[in-house]
Chain A
Amino acid sequence: MDFTLILFYAFGALLLGSALLVVLVRNPVHSALFLVLAFVTAAGLWLLLYAEFLAITLVLVYVGAVMVLFLFVVMLVNPRTVRTDKTFQHQWDVALLLFPILLIPFVYVLWTDKLPDLPVNPAAFQTVRGKLAGNTEAVAWSLFRDYLLPFEIASLLLLVAVVGSVVMAKKRI
């Protein structure tokens, strides 16, 4: 019964609770703020998995950029009538019939598969050039040597996304 156990259940409960509230609340601004909470607790869970660089990247990129963009768009396109509109679309019961069908493969796989425990020994920290290094150095060492081509393709993808979103949102092309 150590502290990481309590942290896992606390972060997990917060994550699932805020994700549920994202889906259920009526006001889209509240929904966006609950999504921010979900991302921050997910970053906490990644810290428990010893992925520090990725946790900070999640908070910086996702919460700091993507959710700010979402909030701007929510402010731009949501009218005053969102308080009296219906929350769910008019085919919500048929759509929710899909949910048990989607649940079956998850339950089957997770029930019958057994994976061993996560390592908790301190020797599971990364090494760069023989010396003990942090997660950021190890991720950089792996990203810029073994995965350089996907990295460059990702930067090209971001360029395409920037051009695409500017063109889509312009009044007159």
Chain B
Amino acid sequence: MDAMLNISTLHYLVLGAALFLLGIIGVLTRRNVVIVLMSIELILNAVNLNLVAFSRYWQSIHGPNALHGQIFAIFVITDAAAEAAVGLGILIAFFRNKETVNVDEVNLLKW
């Protein structure tokens, strides 16, 4: 009970891990490709939460200007936006050819 009353870095890490696992479940089990891409965004959000929590922890050791985790999180946000745009472009190109957004029907390379 005492561990639940004092918020430490570990609480944020557990939250980030749970979010990561939910994103992985979404990627692995959903049928709609757009929702798979949204679950990838959930995974990246979990990573960002870890980075920001560690940045706060790093500030407690190396002084209040040690913002490396937050800078890393800025770059992760940038990359996630770029990847979402390109991924959705690929999705649209695929949809134009096959008229479906189900992962079950992406089976052209199946033996």
Residues of chain A touching chain B, judged by Cβ–Cβ distance below 8 Å, are: 1, 4-5, 8, 12, 15-16, 19-20, 22-23, 28, 31-32, 35, 38-39, 42, 45-46, 49-51, 53-54, 57-58, 61-62, 65-66, 69-70, 73-74, 76-78, 82, 85-90, 92, 95-96, 98-99, 102-103, 106, 110, 113-119, 123-127, 135, 138-139, 141-143, 147, 150, 154, 157-158, 160-162, 164-169, 171
Is there an interface contact between B74 and A16, defined as CB atoms closer than 8 Å? no
Tell me what chain B mostly uses at the interface: helix, strand, loop, or mixed. Answer: helix
Residue from the list B52, B55, B93 in contact with A169, Cβ < 8 A: B93
A-B CB contact pairs (8 Å), 18 listed: A16-B19, A22-B39, A51-B73, A62-B80, A69-B84, A70-B37, A70-B88, A86-B31, A88-B30, A92-B28, A99-B25, A106-B17, A115-B13, A138-B65, A138-B67, A157-B79, A161-B86, A164-B86
CA distance A88 to B102 in the complex (A): 10
Residues of chain B touching chain A, judged by Cβ–Cβ distance below 8 Å, are: 5-15, 17-26, 28-32, 34-35, 37-39, 41-42, 45, 48-49, 52-53, 55-57, 59-60, 64-65, 67-68, 70-71, 73-75, 77-86, 88-93, 95-96, 101-104
